[in-house]
Structure 1
Amino acid sequence: MASTESARADSTRGRIVAAARDEFARHGIAGARVDRIAKAARTSKERVYAYFRSKEELYQHVAAAELAAAADAVHLDPADLPAYAGQLFDYFTAHPDRYRFITWGRLELAAVPDGDRGPYHDAVLTKIEAIRRAQESSDLDPVWDPVDVLAVVSQIAHTWLDQAELAAVARRAAADTAPGARRAAVVRAVGAIFPPARRSS
């Protein structure tokens, strides 16, 4: 009997998390409504708050899961930033809802005081430190600040997600309208700025 109740609780919690992911992706943190999350999860607001004390805590939980999923799918090799940019392009092109979710968080959490670290803080610092180590080992040009490296690569990789109107025109008017052509441009642009390291075999 206890195992049945536990399974039911896990199922309810899973539905809440899935519904919250969709709600936050559509409306952001401030615009998300717990009553809509509860309805989509086929449960009550009271049940949502039984698992998560606040909407912000629920967002933090979903954000941690999203970061873990992205980390599993996209691997930063600072010695091959063009490949990393291609992985970012592939992942978020396949999961635009996840990109919207993360973008809302970046926008809304930017106003949080520096002392209150958001869910993306540690992930960003880890990447910056990996870039710094690659520069120290001569796998990446040390003239760049690691923060700038990460910002430039991420911006190029996300170009077509951030500029939906331009992406729509590209699907009709580009010399090569295939999505692969946009990916190739991303990889080529990053490679022109940060060429992959030539490692001895």
Structure 2
Amino acid sequence: MATFTPPPTDTMRAKLLLAAREEFAAVGITGARIERIAASSSSNKAQIFHYFGSKEGLFDALYAQTLAETLALVPLDAEDLPEYAGRLHDAAVQRPWAQRLVTWYRLERGDAAPMEAVVASNAEAVAEIERAQRAGVLPRTLRPAVLLGLVVHLAAFWSETSPEFDTLVTAMMPARRRQVVVDAVAALVRR
């Protein structure tokens, strides 16, 4: 009789996170069902609780992973914030679940204690903006954190619009939408 050999830990964890990504992006934390995530990952509820402790722990792990992947995919370039915003926009278009997870996080986990990894990443990015301001590469008209926030939100503009607003700009082609983001950030950092 063949014996069962469980998948390696990192493989199972990756399968759980992938299944969780689809579930959480679609229905958020409250609407997500551990049973669906387990079935979709060919696993079980016990595995989810073993690796992540709770549904919220699974969401937090997924959220942290998604942000880390985005930062790796689109590293901050304080010397060219317009193009950085364009690349962030591209990432939002290519990975629509990421923006949905951010929205669910803000709605359902906004009152939770800040995630240390995210806080540290944000602090590094703000410090990078501040260095560029001190070097004269970026204007000092806005505080570094505010400038970074505006750039990030301009980059996400098209992925955060309502369906009603989208009807006003349906003719705008994807390349033009990206250019609008780049131009808006360029105007923001113009001296």
CA spacing shift, 1:157–1:17, aligned 2, 3 Å: same
Cα distance in 1 for residues equivalent to 2:119 and 2:110: 11
Correspondence for 2:114: 117
How many angstroms does 1:143 deviate by?
Answer: 2.1
Cα distance in 2 for residues equivalent to 1:73 and 1:45: 31
**Any gaps of 5 or more consecutive residues in structure 1?**
197-201
- Tell me the TM-score normalised to structure 1 length: 0.83
SS of 1:152's equivalent in the other structure is helix
Cα distance in 2 for residues equivalent to 1:142 and 1:108: 34
How many angstroms does 1:14 deviate by?
Answer: 2.3
- Tell me the TM-score normalised to structure 2 length: 0.87
> Is the CA contact (8 Å cut-off) linking 1:74 and 1:87 kept in structure 2?
yes
Deviations along 1:130-169, whole A, 9 cap, x unmatched? 1111111111111211121012112211111111422344
SS of 1:5's equivalent in the other structure is coil
Cα distance in 2 for residues equivalent to 1:57 and 1:46: 14
Q: Select the residue among 152, 155, 159 that pairs with 2:153.
A: 155
Cα distance in 2 for residues equivalent to 1:13 and 1:130: 33
Q: Percent identity?
A: 33
Cα distance in 2 for residues equivalent to 1:77 and 1:13: 32
> Is the CA contact (8 Å cut-off) linking 1:23 and 1:32 kept in structure 2?
yes
Correspondence for 1:53: 53
Cα distance in 2 for residues equivalent to 1:159 and 1:9: 38
Alignment RMSD (CA, Å): 2.0
Count residues in correspondence: 186
Cα distance in 2 for residues equivalent to 1:124 and 1:108: 20
**Any gaps of 5 or more consecutive residues in structure 2?**
none
